[in-house]
Amino acid sequence: MQEKKILIVATNTSCMDDLNKTKTGVWLEEFAVPFLEFKNASDDEFKLDVTVASPLGGVAPVDESSLECKNPTQWDYTIKALENTVKLSEADYKNYDAIFIPGGHGPMFDLAKDELLGEIVSYFYNTHKLVAAVCHGPAGLINAKTDTGEPIVKGMQLTCFTNEEEKIVKKDMLMPFLLESKLKQLGAYFNAAAPWEENVVVDENLITGQNPASAKKLAKTVLKKLKNN
């Protein structure tokens, strides 16, 4: 049997640093959809072990705005995995085959500046293991470097929650920076679809998704690559 392991790294941020302390966290769809895809991927020929971690361990808060009555009931089950995450420094990340970073605005405030996450993503990228992130999850790629000290996103095709989408949801002025702009500044070749459209970009071992609608396709792309490697 083929056995693989994936490390999911979620935010610990529950509110933004504006005066109103606007609530934020993990956007549930971007965690739940891939988590369920990964959990249900195991069969007689393939087994995928899933670990959920965060910089501080413990609770990775869910953005209340992503808790809607129309959400599938099975998403509720996935929240339990966010209530007791492994502390990132205690995860033996070199034993994993892929890393995935879900979005929500939370990553913009902690994962974007987490040095350990930068080291871990660097390791995955430089050892040709899979690096995947969706929506604001690519904020966790910012501190990752190649073996020559360049940003891993430099010269890479990728996507994330776009500046246009940020303005539509009226969160652009609450962000410490605009993620699309930052990735471009680091030298990325940015690929944008129309707001809210499914958009997954694959460049070598880097897989990125633009928004919640891209979560399922991203997860299926990760699984396909894991099974073929």
pLDDT in tens, 13-39: 999 998 889 999 999 999 999 999 999
Q: Which CATH superfamily is domain 2-228 in?
A: Class I glutamine amidotransferase (GATase) domain (3.40.50.880)
Distance CA 202, CA 191 (A): 10
Output the CA torsion sign for 184, 186, 188, 193: negative
Give the chain's mean pLDDT: 97
Reported as a single tens digit per residue, the pLDDT across 129-154 is 999 999 999 999 999 999 999 999 99
Q: What is the DSSP string of 62-117?
A: BPGGG--TTS-THHHHHHHHHSSBEEGGGS-GGG-SEEEE--SSGGGTTGGG-HHH
Domain boundaries, the chain: 2-228
Q: Which residue has the higher pLDDT, 2 or 88?
A: 88
